[in-house]
Amino acid sequence: MNTYAKVYSQDAQISVNIKNGSITDLFKTIEQKTEYRIFYKTNLVSDSKRLTLNETHKSVSSILSEVLSERNLSFDLIDKVIVITPSSMAPQQMVSGKVIDAVTNEPLIGVGISVQGTTKRAVTDINGKYSIDATKPNAVLVFSYIGYITQEIPLNGQTVVNVKMAANIQNLGEVVVVGYGTQKKESITGSISGVTAKDISVVHGGSTVSSGLAGKIAGVTFRMTDGRPGASAAVQIRNLGPALYVIDGIQKDEGQFNNISPNDIESITVLKDASAAIYGVKAANGVVVVTTKHGSLNTKNTIEFNALYGYQNWTRFPKGVDAYGWQLNKVYADINQTGHTAITPTELAKWKAGTDPAYRSFDWYNAVVTPNMPQSNYNLNASGGNDNINYYVSLSRLDQDAVIKQYKFNRTNFQSNVDAKIAKNLKIGVAINGRIEERVNPGVPGGDDYWVPRFAIMRNTPMMREFANDNPLYMNDIGDNSTNLALMNYATSGKYQSDWYVLQTNFNAEYKFPIKGLTAKGMMSYYYADQLMNNHEYTYNAYKYDPVTKTYNVSGGSQNPWQERQTSKILETVIQGQLNYTNTFGKHTINATFVTERSNRSDAEVWVHVVPPLNPIDIMQVSTLTDYNNSNTTLARVGYVGRFTYNYSNKYYFEASGRRDASSMFSPDNRWGNFYSVSGGWRITSENFYKNLFGSAPILNDLKVRASYGRLGDDTNIGISPSDFTYINGYTYPTGGAVLAGQFVPGARDRGLQATNLTWTISKITDIGADFSMFNGSLTGAVDYFYRKRTGLPNTDNTVILPYEVGFNLPKTNVGSDAQMGGDLNIQYNTKIEKVDITIGGNWGFSRKKDLTLNSNPQFGNSWDYYRNSTINRWDAISWGYEVVGQFQTQQQINSYKINNDGKGNMTQLPGDLIYKDQNGDGVINQLDQRPIGYGSNGSQPIQNFGLNFTLAWSGFDFRADFSGGSGYSFVRNWEMAVPFQNGGNLLKDFANNSWHRVDPYDVNSAWVAGKYPAITFNNGGGNNYNGAGATPSFWITPVKYFRARTIELGYTIPKSIINKMKIQKLRVYINTYNLFSFDNMSKYGIETEVNDNNGLQYPQNRIVNFGVNLSF
C-alpha cells in the first residue's frame, strides 16, 4: 500500500526519460528535480530488472506507484521524505472514517493521518474519507492539516473514527496574497497580516466592510466617527494616512472597498511595510489587498443563502434636561450673571408640575429618534466547477434605516467570477462587480443632511414643541428654521435622493509556457460609476396658535425654494501585463516577476440649481436656472515593475523589487520616479545548532526574523487636484467679475507661477520583525518595529515673500519632511479542552508622527512664537491650552487670590470657576501660559490601538467575540458639550446634575453647593471658564480610552442527520450583536467615544442585534 501525507500544496510533477536504466536511476532523477529525499535498503532494489520510462509532467507519487508495484515494493511520502518499503501481504487492522471542518461541517481534503510512533500514513480523499492500517498496540491516530489544529486520538479498539478539525486561524493564510501574486506565509519577509472569509463573515454591524476590520489586524487603526447608514470607518495602516486598496489586482479607492458585499470576500491582506512598494504610486501609506471568492475546479455545485434581520439603536447621544430643569438652571444662570431673573417661583412650580398645557415639557430626542430601526441583509450565491470551468456568482441586498426618522439607505451588489481553461496551457477569466446605492431622506439644506435632526435634539429648548398646539397639520414656529422638524417631513421639506450605479469588470488571461515555471498574465479592467443626485427643498409655513381665537397664524417657515441636480461620471481603464518565472533547483527556489501597467481615469461632473415656482413642480427649466457648474478631471499613470525572490532550503529568504512610475500630476521634467524595496528573512529554528541546542521538539518550534527597507513615491498627498495642472500656464475662470453695460461679466485671473519643480513625495520605510510559533503551533505571533521618514512634502516656501502687488503666491515645492515610528504585536493561542476548541488572539499597535522640518518654512516673530507654533521635532496631534490646577472653593478664596486669573482682577470669578496655572510666574494668566496639555484633538486617529478575539466551538455550537480599543487621542469639549445653554438651546443633564450652584436659586447670598462643573451661566462661551480664556482649558480635554465589544455571535449548526432528509447540506442559525457594550471614560458625558465633532452631536455608532441563518444546498 502506497501512502503519503500532503503537507505541501501539491504533489510535485516531473518529466522522466530513462532508457534501460535501474530503479536507482529513477530515485536520483526525482531527487535532482524535486526537494524529495528517498531512503531505502540496498537489498530491496538490487534486482537486475531494467527500467525504461518516459513520462511528461506526471506526479512523483504516480510514477513511484507504477514502478514500485511491479517490484512488490511500496512507499511512504512524509513531507519531503520518501521511504521505500516492501509490500506487505499480512492481514491489516484497518481504521476508517471521515474528517470535516468543525464549524462548516465541510469535508476536508488532503488531511494527513498517521499512526503515532510508526511510518504508517494516509490522506483523506475528496469526500474527506480515509482508511489506514493501525495494527499496533494502544494505537493513537494523529490528524494534521495546514491551517487546522493537530489532533491525537487513541483508538481504544475503534475501527471507525470520525473527526472534526478546528481551524488554526493564525495559519489559515498559508498562501498569502501579496503584490501581483501569492506567496507562502513561511517565506514572507515583510510585515504582512490579514483576515479570511471566516473573519469577514461576521461583519453584520453596518453597511461597509471596514466595520469588520476593527481589532482584527495589528497595526491597523480604526475609528468609526460616523454611524449613519452607508457610513464607513476611518481605517489607516499604522496611522500613516489613507491606504491604497487593491481589489482583485486593480487599484481602487476606499469607497469601492467599503461597498463590496462582505459575503463575496475571500481574504483581506494588509501590506504594512516596504512590501507595499511593489504597488508604487499611492502605496506609501500601506496597501489593503482584497481577493473575492472564486469557485474551484472539480467541485460540486453549491448554492448558499445567507440572511439576517436586525434592530438598531444609538449607542450613546447627549441628553438634555426637561422644561423644569431648563427653567431652574436658567434661574441659576441669571442670578450668577446679573443677580436677578425674570422667572418667578410660581412659574417654576408650574413647569415642575407640568399639568398646565402651557407648561408642559417636550422631548426632542424622542421626536427625532425612533428605537429599534431595522436593517436586513440577504445574499444568494452559487459556486462550483468541472474539469475546465469554475465559477462564483453572488447577489446581495442591504437595507438599512436610520435611527433618525425618515432616513434610509440601501445597496444591491452583484459579483460574478468565472474562470475557464480553453486550451491545455491557457485559461481566461471574467470578473464583474456591480452595485446600486440609494440614499433617501427629506430635502435638508446644506451638505450634511443629518445636521438638522441631530442639532434639534440639543439646540431646541424643551419648552418648544414640534407642532403648534400639538396639531400635526401645523408645524410650530420655533424661531429657528434650521432646527425645525418640518425639515424631517417629506410633505413639508421635500426629498433628497442620491443614486450610484457602479460597474467594475476585469478580463484576464494566463498562459503557461512549455518552459517549466514560466507563465504570462494579462488583465484589462474597466470601471464605470454614475451618480445622480436630486434635491428638492420645499417651502413651508410655520404657525403659532392663538388660544383665545383658537386660530393658527402663519408666523414663520421657509420661503426659499431650492432644487438642485448633480450628475457625476467616472471612467477608469487599467491594463496590466505580467511575466512570472518560478523554479526550484535542489534547495534553491527562485521567483521573478515583471509587470507593466497603465491607468487612465476621467471624472466629469455637472451641477445645476433652479428656483422651482411651486413645491409640486419637479421639472427643471432654463427660465428658473440660477447656477450651472461643470468640471472635468483626468489622471494618467504608467509603471514598470520587477521583483525577485530567493529561498534557500526554507531557511534563508531574500526579496528585492523595483518600480519606475510616471504620473500626470507632475510636469514632464519631474514626472518619472524610481522606487524600490529589499527584504530578507532567516528561519533560525531550521539551523542545526538550534536543533542541537533544543532537541527535536523545542518549546519555540518556529522562529523567523526579518527586515525590510524601501523607498516609495506618493503623488496623492500633495495638496492639489488632478485637474489643477499647476505646471501649465493658464487662467482661473470664472473668478469674480463686474457689471458692464448693465450685465454681469465673469472675470478671469492669471493662475500665477507654474509648479514646474513639484515632484514625488518620498517615503523611506524600515521594518524589523519576527514571526514565531510555540508549543507545536498552539501559540503563534509576530512583532514589528517600524520607522518611516518622508521628504519632499509639498507646500509654499515662505522664506521667499512676494509683494502683495504681485497678485499671487509662490507655487508649491517639496520643502517639508516628517517621521513616523511605532510597533505592532499580534499573538494567538489555540487549544482544545475536552471537546471544546478554543482560540484566543490579541493584537496591539502604536504609531506616532513628528515633523522634522516645517512644510512651509514659516517666519517666527520671536522665541515665544517659535516655541508656541513650531512643530519641529515635536509629536504631532498635541492640544495646547491652559493647565487647570483646581477650582475656587469660596468667594473669600477668590478675593484673596493673588494671580489675575480672568484678566479682570478676578472680578468675574465665582466659586467653582477654573483656576489656571501661572506657568511663567508673572501673576497674569494670558497666552504666555499656554502649554501642551493633551493628545491630538477630535480628528486624530488613536495613537494606540488594540484588539482581542475569542472563539469557541463545541458540538455544533460556535461562539465568537471580537473586541477593539484605542487610546492616545483627546476629545476636546466645546459648544453644547462645554457651554451651558449654547446658542440659547438646551442644557446637558450632566451640567444640571453636577454643577456648582446655590442652595436657594433665587438668593444671591445663599450658600454654595460644590459640584464637578463651574457654576452655570447662560450661553457664555466667551467666559473665562471656556474659550474666553484665549485657549481651551485642560478641564475640557478628555484623553479618550475605550475598549468595546465590536461583535459577539452565537451560532448553532443543525446536525446533518436532521437536515439530510431535506437535501440540505448545511443549516446554521445565529444571533449576532454589534457594539453591545463599551468600557470607556466618555459614558459619563453621554458622548460616543469615536466621534470627532467637539459638540458631541455627531451621528453615533449603532448598537445592533441581528438574527441570521446560513443555508447551503
The H helix count followed by the E strand count for the chain is: 14, 58
pLDDT tens string 820-856: 999 999 999 998 888 899 999 999 999 999 988 876 6
Q: Which runs of E-coded beta strand occur in 796-906? A: 813-833, 836-853, 879-882, 884-887
**pLDDT reported for residue 430:** 97
To the nearest 5 percent, what fractions of the chain are helix, strand and coil?
15, 50, 35
Are 842 and 948 contacting, i.e. CB atoms less than 8 angstroms apart? yes
**pLDDT reported for residue 167:** 64
Burial class of residue 117, CB neighbours in 10 A (0-12, 13-18, 19+): exposed
Q: Which residue has the cell 483576515?
A: 195
Distances in Å between the alpha carbon of 378 and those of 356, 412, 827?
Answer: 51, 10, 34
Residue stretches of the chain with pLDDT short of 70: 1-11, 46-48, 78-79, 87-92, 103-104, 146-147, 167-176, 203-207, 445-450, 696-697, 717-719, 723, 855-858, 938-939, 1028-1029
Angle, alpha carbons 701-703-708 (nearest 5°): 165
Global confidence as pTM? 0.81
Burial class of residue 409, CB neighbours in 10 A (0-12, 13-18, 19+): buried
| Spatial CB neighbours of 711, under 8 Å, sequence gap ≥ 6 | 277, 675, 676, 677, 762, 763, 764
Largest CA distance in the chain: 123
Q: What is the 3-state secondary structure (H, E, C) of 1050-1112?
A: EEEECCHHHHHHHCCCEEEEEEEEECCCEEECCHHHCCCCCCCCCCCCCCCCEEEEEEEEEEE
Determine the straight-line distance between the first and last CA of the chain, rounded to whole angstroms.
36
Phi, psi of 623, deg, nearest 5: -65, -20
Phi, psi of 786, deg, nearest 5: -140, 155
Could you tell me how far CA 924 lies from the centroid of its own chain? 47
**pLDDT reported for residue 3:** 38
d(CA 214, CA 365): 29
The set of cell numbers assigned to 640 is: 514598470
Q: Which CATH superfamily is domain 3-167 in?
A: Carboxypeptidase-like, regulatory domain (2.60.40.1120)
d(CA 1064, CA 641): 48
The ranges of the chain annotated as CATH 2.60.40.1120 are: 3-167
3-state secondary structure of 185: helix
Q: Which residue has the cell 498562459?
A: 511
Phi, psi of 108, deg, nearest 5: -105, 125
Q: Which residue has the cell 514626472?
A: 671
**pLDDT reported for residue 332:** 97
User: Helices 345-353 & 323-338, crossing angle to 10 degrees?
Assistant: 160
The set of cell numbers assigned to 576 is: 496590466
d(CA 486, CA 442): 9
Q: Which of 1112, 1093, 1109, 970 is nearest to 450 (CA)?
A: 1093
Are 893 and 1016 contacting, i.e. CB atoms less than 8 angstroms apart? no
Return the CATH architecture of domain 170-304: Beta Complex (2.170)
d(CA 445, CA 449): 7
The ranges of the chain annotated as CATH 2.170.130.10 are: 170-304
**pLDDT reported for residue 207:** 67
Could you tell me how far CA 493 lies from the centroid of its own chain? 35
Q: Which residue has the cell 501574486?
A: 181
Can you give the C-alpha Rg of the chain in angstroms?
Answer: 35
State the amino acid at position 694 in one-letter form: F
DSSP-derived letter for residue 864 is H
Distances in Å between the alpha carbon of 939 and those of 37, 210, 227, 878, 969?
Answer: 59, 18, 15, 12, 9
Q: Which of 751, 714, 707 is nearest to 729 (CA)?
A: 751
pLDDT tens string 145-168: 766 777 888 888 788 899 988 766
d(CA 164, CA 124): 13
**pLDDT reported for residue 1004:** 93
**pLDDT reported for residue 9:** 34
